[in-house]
Structure 1
Amino acid sequence: MVDLIRVRSLTVFGKWRPFFISNKMSLLRILDLENIENLFDHHLEQIGKLHHLQYLSLRGCMGIFRLPNSLGNLKQLQTLDIKQTMIRNLPKTIINLRKLQYIHAKIISWGDVSYKEMASTFYEDLPRVLQNKACLLTLVSASFCVLCYAPQLIDIEEDDVIIDRRCLCTVFCCFMLPFIIRELQLYGIVLPRGFRKLRLLRTLTGVNIAFGKGILKEIKALTQLRRLAVTGIDKKNCGEFCSTLADLRCLESLTVHSKPGLQGCLDGVSSPPKNLQSLKVSGNLVKLPEWIGGLNSLVKLKLHETMLSELDATIQVLGKLPNLAILRLLKNSFKGEELNLTFHREAFPSLVVLQLACISHDLRSVEFGEEATPKLELLSFIGYYPFAYKNAGMFSGLASLPSLKEFMLDNAYAVEFLTDVQDQLDGNPNGPVMKRC
């Protein structure tokens, strides 16, 4: 038996075996419950007794829908990791944690779909009346009430864990009810009022800014932020969001996500953080904001579902970024007919890693000109499945990349394509190898 009076760090693997959090664990500094099965909200009710706790991880615990108010007693807490949980709202008492520096959050989504999209996808075979929001809410409410008042149906004992009515009520109240009524996307957490008091916060990820007028004002007051990831940007709040970025002068990493799209939403950034080193954008941009071309400190850039229409102009802008080392162009980052991606002479002087993954259905060629990407070491390519590229000239210029070490591919390609790529790699004096991811 571990002496919990003296233990200062506890990491649990596998399935949760409930134990009572007591004063005997008062010296605990680290509690890591990542990916624990059968961990539910009521197991955390006494978490506030761990007065010396500095690190708490619930990452991957899909049975956690809310954090208890007793979390506010953890005055020494510095890191809270709730990624890949079902938590949508942080408790109001979290504003008492004045030493908190890192909040990692990102709720699991069903493809970031809205209620209407789910209804059309999952209920399209049902009668139209059951696709109505009010009818669905009534049906779901009745189902949960039946389960809650019939404990013999739900008190299922499995590996010393009881799935009881508390768990079902939490699922309904904290997850299903808000999703159906407000038609929320299943992505991001909502911050409580007064969050600005956490002045030491350096990392804040997975925040939904679409609900609550004061959320961006709270974030603007967190001037020590180094890393920020937000979702829910739209036409209504984009102006204030752009203004917020101007005040976060210490920001080094920024992630923005919007399911409806980002077209025109980021154009109002007049004074981007000068020290920004990492930028990830997910959402329909159509056109690259001009300020991105002035990010001279940028090291990492990822574009996803941006649907950029000006391929050549975008690549020319990005190619002039002096410190860009990692470029990831992911699913539908570009749109157009018969796109030809060309890396010109002296472009991307610091690029080391280039990932091209399903960037467009219409991508026809990728060309590397002489003296382009001189430091490129890793090139990764994934085409749209099941479209197997049979074009032997899909890639060109691979033999002229002086620093190339690896060319990574998935498995959906014809022999002619693979042979052509291998011949180019064989002609490269640096001896790069082809690998399958």
Structure 2
Amino acid sequence: MVMCQVNGFIREYIVSQRMEENLVFELGGKCALTTQRTGRHLVILKHWERDIIVFRSIDFSRLRSLTVFGKWEPFFISEGMKMLRVLDLEDADDLSNADLYKMVACLHRLKFLSLRGHREINHLPSSVDHMRQLQTLDVRDTSIVTLPDTITKLHKLQYIRAGGTTEAVQHVSSSWCCRRNLVGVEVPRGIGKLTALHTLGVLKIGALGANTIVKQLKKLTQLRKLGVSGINRKNSKQFIISGLGVYLESLSVQLDKGSQGCLDDISLPWQHLTSLKMHGLQDKLPLLGNHLSKLRKLDLEMAILEKHDVELLATLPELFILRLRVKQLQDGKLHFYVEMYGEELPTYEKVKVLDISCRSSKLHVTFGSKSMRNLELLKLDCSSASYQLTALNYLCKLKEVLLKGTNDEAIKTHLERQLVNHPKPPIVKLEEQSSS
């Protein structure tokens, strides 16, 4: 859960408690010098006037966390913040590389640092090793492409979140399609020294090569979540069959452009995986086998998805969330049912969330009477495809249909008509995608 709503009475109670106990205070609007400004957690709101006199009048001796919304000012970092543990700048603006040097110099006890979304940040200071208490570093969606060698001295690091996701047009099978690329960062040779790491990604198998990367990752016995990019025909088999990450629970893989098919007929050995993301596949899935019996979340990006692939996915017994992002489907049809000897088999029994995105102009999706009986949320990307949905009445637990990438009320009305005979008609919503 990302957020929740509370009613007015509960909100007033929460606000009063935080003020009484001096836990959380905020800077917003026009704050006067006479206003009490002390506590453990400070939130700087977007509409605050950035008054340096007011800010420097604050007692920071008890401050444990600082969250900034809106414009960042260099004076927000104070030498009085000796006890600061958390610095969250994800929603701040105008941060610079020079500001990072000041943070590293002043905030030696920091445990959590988020610079997420700051494209203007293109490197981390080599002095980052002064933050010896750091446990979480989030530099996703920045311009950082390489982590400094000194990061290997931060032995308490548990979470490194780097790289990002970009939308790009790629040429696949003589046709154009939109690919969602995982962009990784290069890590230093000694990354294996960070034995407390639980989460690492997205890292790029680049200059170090697959041999070195695999050797380093094998040392990270606590690693549970890994994201990699740069998988190609030269390193794919070595990466998959290396025995890497016996205890991995979550894996994201991005294939290099032109490397489609490099995972064909390779059996995935990660028996503890509960989440798998594979982007850049061509027209064939790797061998799923019995190793993925615990998989609950699957995110696939393929050029072509065929009928036997859908039947193969139906064999995953614990699948809970399924996201399919494809350029085209065989005959423009997607049938979520499997038959044997003329009888339909129960399939996709635990799937509750289904997310479909296709670049075909028209897509026919059919559900069986014994498939996805527990589906609650259906997401459809309508930015480039129109959908014909059949047998929706079988989805007796469906609560919501989310139409992404469009604000066309006619599409919504058309779908609502298809659901008129549903036992409990679900809510149909429009979600227009942002231009970014």
Normalising by structure 1, what TM-score? 0.75
Aligned equivalents of 2:169 and 2:216: distance in 1?
Answer: 25
Find the residue that maps to 1:422 and give its secondary structure.
Answer: helix
Is contact 2:221–2:245 with CA below 8 Å preserved after alignment?
Answer: yes
Q: Which position in structure 2 is the counterpart of 1:301?
A: 298
Aligned residue pairs total 356
- 1:96 aligns to what? 153
Instruction: Report sequence identity in percent.
Output: 39
* Aligned equivalent of 1:433, options 418, 427, 431: 427
Check the 8 A contact 1:10/1:32 in 2, yes or no. Answer: yes
User: Judging changes above 3 Å, is the alpha-carbon distance between structure 1 residues 26 and 328 closer, same or farther for their aligned structure 2 residues?
Assistant: same
- Residue aligning to 1:407: 401
- Residue 296 of structure 2 corresponds to residue 285 of structure 1: no
Q: CA deviation at 1:77?
A: 0.6
Matches for 1:40-59 after TM superposition, within 5 Å: 40-46=96-102, 47-59=104-116
Give, in whole Å, the separation in 2 of the partners of 1:320 and 1:72.
47
For residues 170 and 122 of structure 2, the distance between their equivalents in structure 1, rounded to whole angstroms, comes to: 19
Say if 1:104 and 1:206, in contact at 8 Å, map to a contact too. yes
| Structure with more helix by fraction | 1
1:302-381 superposed matches below 5 A: 302-304=299-301, 306-309=302-305, 311-332=306-327, 334-344=328-338, 345=344, 346-357=346-357, 359-361=358-360, 363-381=362-380
What's 2:253 paired with?
Answer: 256
How has the CA–CA distance of structure 1 residues 322 and 42 changed in structure 2, closer, same or farther, with 3 Å as cutoff? same
Q: For residue 56 of structure 1, give the secondary structure of its aligned residue in structure 2.
A: strand
1:266: how far off? 2.9
Change (3 A) 1:329 1:247: same
1:81 corresponds to: 138
Task: Quote the Cα distance in structure 2 between the aligned partners of 1:271 and 1:353.
Answer: 24
Higher relative contact order (CA 8 A, sep 6+): 1
Corresponding position of 1:223: 221
Q: Say if 2:203 is the partner of 1:207.
A: yes
Alignment equivalent of 1:37, drawn from 93, 115, 140? 93
The separation in 2 between residues aligned to 1:107 and 1:380, in whole angstroms, is 23
Paired with 1:412 and 1:21, the residues of 2 have a C-alpha distance of 43
1:112–1:293 Cα change, 3 Å: farther
Which has a greater percent of strand?
2
2: distance between equivalents of 1:36 and 1:419? 39
State the Cα distance separating 1:49 from its structure 2 match: 3.6
**CA deviation vs aligned residue, 1:261-315 (integer Å, no higher than 9, x gap):** 55343347546221101111110332111126641111111112x1235x21111
Moved more, 264-273 or 396-405: 264-273
Q: 1:106 and 1:341, CA in 2 relative to 1: closer, same or farther beyond 3 A?
A: same
The amino acid across from 2:150 in the alignment is: T
Cα shift at 1:318:
0.8
Counterpart of 1:435 in 2: which secondary structure?
strand
CA deviation after TM superposition for structure 1 residue 89, in Å? 0.8
Q: Secondary structure at the match of 2:123?
A: coil
- CA distance in 1 between counterparts of 2:293 and 2:270 reads 11
Say if 1:367 and 1:97 are closer, same or farther in 2 by CA, change over 3 A: same
**In structure 2, do the counterparts of structure 1 residues 290 and 203 end up closer, same or farther at CA, with 3 Å as the change threshold?**
same
Q: C-alpha offsets along residues 75-132 of structure 1, whole Å, 9 cap, x if unaligned?
A: 1110000011111111111000001000111246573889xxxxxxxxxxxxxxxxxx
TM-score by length of 2: 0.75
Report if the CA contact (8 A) 2:367-2:390 is conserved: yes
Following superposition, the deviation at residue 8 of structure 1 comes to 1.8
Distance 1:329 1:186, change over 3 A: closer
Q: Distance in 1 between matches of 2:281 and 2:426?
A: 35
Aligned with 1:219: secondary structure? helix
1:16 to 62, 72, 85: 72
* Superposition CA RMSD, Å: 2.7
Counterpart contact for 2:182–2:229, Cα < 8 Å: no
C-alpha distance 186-206 of structure 1, shift in aligned 2 (>3 A): closer
Residue deviations 1:42-83 (CA, integer Å, cap 9, x gap): 111131442211111111122111111111011111000001
Counterpart position of 2:162: 105
Mapped partners of 1:53, 1:373: distance in 2 = 46
